[in-house]
Structure formats: structure tokens, C-alpha cells
Amino acid sequence: METFQEYLQAWPSARRAEGAARATEADVLAVLQKEILQPADLLTLLSPAAAPHLEAMARRARELTLRFFGKAVNIFTPLYISDVCTNQCRYCGFNAKNKQPRRHLSIDEAAAEADVIADKGFQHILLLTGDARHLSSPQYIADAARRIKPRFASVGVEVYSLTTEEYELLVNAGVDSMTMFQETYNPELYAWLHPVGPKHDYGFRLNAPQRAAEGGIRSIGVGALLGLESFEQDAFATGLHAWWLQRRYPGVDVSVSIPRICPHEGNFDVQHAVDDRHLVQYVTAMRCFLPRAGITCSSRESAFMRDHLVPIGVTRVSAGVSTAVGGRATEDLHNPGQFEITDRRSLEEMAASLAGIGYQAVLKDWEDPVAV
């Protein structure tokens, strides 16, 4: 069975760069008239030639978002249950070389933190850990999910890459969604960014969403960390990844996350910073290419930016966010967290903001049929 890693070889970086450079404004306008787009069309919408046509792209993206999602935006919140990590990712605050307090919650502590989150009204929760199998094993993640599942409609994970059997373990514990950031789709750059640790294996991470689908995960999110590689390269590869997953697994809900790199503990020189106009171009291009895919915008972005991205494509946002481990119901070690967040709105504030622009905050859009 073909993997996405194998399929991606048909779109080497040189082909992507040439396609983006060759696109004309006439090509952009022609693509915006199409009902169904192909990968080459996404590259056109991400190209420099599309930059003068952001308003036309936004109109098309808004029309498609309303057609397939209405004025509903799902809200979730993350719960970091461990920041112990064996990787040395150069851009991440959890880098094993960073000298900072570390915390690994027991199952009871994780449940206490989750109870506080549930009491605030959240129904969708995302469990996150560092990459340290000796502590945050798949069984530990499954045990935490099983313990908190009765209080949530949906439990997702954003953890290290797992095998198909390990994803099955999580599904049996109540996990129904997973998010996997490839960080960058450039294998050479990826190797440099991840010099030490299990995350160094580019292919194992790249094919993790496919294994998750095979393991029974119903909702899968992919994304690149914008700013690591040039805009057109990683933006296109992310969209291609989501498109491939939709075609290969039509019964799986596929979404795209759009994180830009944020300040964090440690130092990292961002070589390809993505400005606001490029982020808007990314969201609108992705919506035109993947009209039925969810688009997630985290609290890395400002309240202003998130409120303006919702009408043109974003369908899922976080609220009440902390990227540190603990602090809600258990001891707070004053950990700096994985990265700095920008939008600190609570669930109530986020819902009010969405209502202010004519959108409905959706707290529950999924019910596990086994639990009903």
C-alpha cells in the first residue's frame, strides 16, 4: 500500500518552486472559477501571483466556508499532561537540553486537571505530552484518556508518532482524534531541526496520520510549523497531505492546522517568517482547495487575527489555553510552557467574540456511539 511519503516524491521541492514561480495572475483568476481544484491549482493560489488577489480569494473562501460549515466554530482546549521529552528539536520549548522545571502528571492529577476544564464547559479536549516513552507511554496516554472520557464528548491527542496497534489502543480507550504536525516536509531541513531523539525519523512521523486512520482514529489533523521552511513549500505539502488523506480515507474527517512559530524557551532564528498577508493567503487557498476540511487556528495567533480568519475559513479554535503542565488543580511549577500564547481568551470570552461577529460557538459536535 502506497504511503504519503511515497506519493510526495512526485512533488519534489524543485517542482513545487517551479510551479509557484510560473503561475500568473490569469492562472489565479482561472483557478478561482473552478469547482474542484487539483494540487497544481493549490500551488497557483499559494504563489506570488496570487498575492494581489487576496480579496477575491477571501470572497471565494467565505462562500465555501458558509456552504459547508455554516456559521459554526468548534472550540477545544489542550491539556498538557507531561513535558518530559527526549528530543532536541531546535525550535521547541520542550527541547531536552533546555534547563527548566519538568512535570509528568499521574493519572489522578491528569483527571483533576481535566475536571477543572470540564467544569468550565469544554466538551472537546486535546491531550499533549512530550516524547518520552519511558514515562508517557502509549498505555499511560490511554489510561489518561479512559479516565477523563466520561466528562468529554471528544478526547483527542497530540503526541509523538505511534504504531497502528498503539493508535488502536488509544481508540479503545476513547480517543477519537489526533493531530500530527510534520513541522516541515523538507527531509533535509527536518533532519537538521531534529538532531537527537526518536522524532529524528522523518518517515515514521510523516506516515503517522495514515497509521492513525488504519488504527480507527475518526478525525485527523495535519500541519506544518510555518516559518521553518519557505512558505510555498510547506504550505503546499500540508495541503497535499490533507488532500491525499481525504482521498485515501473518505470516512475520516481531515483537518489542517495553521501554526506560525512562536517565541519559546531557548533560542531559534526563524529564517522564513510568515507575515499576516501570507497567513491569510494560506487560509483562503486551503479553503478553496479543501472545501470540506476543517481549519484549526490556535492561540498562537492574536484575538484580532483569529476573529478575522473565521469568516474566510477557520472552523476550529482553542480557548482557555495553557501550554504548561499542571496549574489548574495541581501544583504549578511555573513552567514557561511549550511556547508563548497570544490569545488568552477564556471559553466565555471566545464564545462572546464569535457571537459578536455573527458566529455560533459549538462546544459539542460529536458523540461517541459506544458511549451513548
pLDDT score for 372 = 46
- Would you state the cell numbers that stand for residue 228, as one nine-digit string? 521553518
pLDDT 10s digits, 123-168: 999 999 999 999 999 999 999 999 999 999 999 999 999 999 999 9
Q: Is the dihedral of CA 89, 266, 227, 305 positive or negative?
A: positive
Query: How far apart are alpha carbons 252 and 217 in whole angstroms?
Result: 8
**Cell 476550529 belongs to which residue?**
316
pLDDT score for 327 = 80
Contacts 24+ apart (CB under 8 A), 11-14: 11/39, 11/236, 11/237, 11/240, 13/186, 13/233
Please give the distance of CA 56 from its chain centroid, rounded to a whole number.
26
Query: How far apart are alpha carbons 326 and 367 in whole angstroms?
Result: 27
pTM confidence score: 0.94
Identity at 190, one-letter amino acid code: Y
pLDDT at residue 269 is higher than 80: no
pLDDT band at 371 (very low <50, low <70, confident <90, very high): low
Share above pLDDT 70 across residues of the chain, in percent, rounded to a whole number? 95
Fold exhibited by the domain 4-362: TIM Barrel (3.20.20)
What stretches of 35-159 show up as alpha helix (H) in DSSP? 39-46, 54-69, 107-119, 138-148
pLDDT 10s digits, 275-324: 999 999 999 999 999 999 999 999 989 999 999 999 999 999 999 998 88
Average pLDDT of every residue of the chain: 93
Residue 275: count of CB within 10 angstroms of its CB:
10
pLDDT at residue 264 is higher than 60: no
pLDDT 10s digits, 180-211: 999 999 999 999 999 999 999 999 999 999 99
Query: How far apart are alpha carbons 25 and 207 in whole angstroms?
Result: 35
Q: How much is the average pLDDT of 333-341?
A: 61
pLDDT score for 98 = 74
95-104, 112-121, 342-351: least confident range: 95-104
Residue 201: count of CB within 10 angstroms of its CB:
14
pLDDT at residue 261 is higher than 90: no
Residue 222 phi, psi (nearest 5): -125, 165
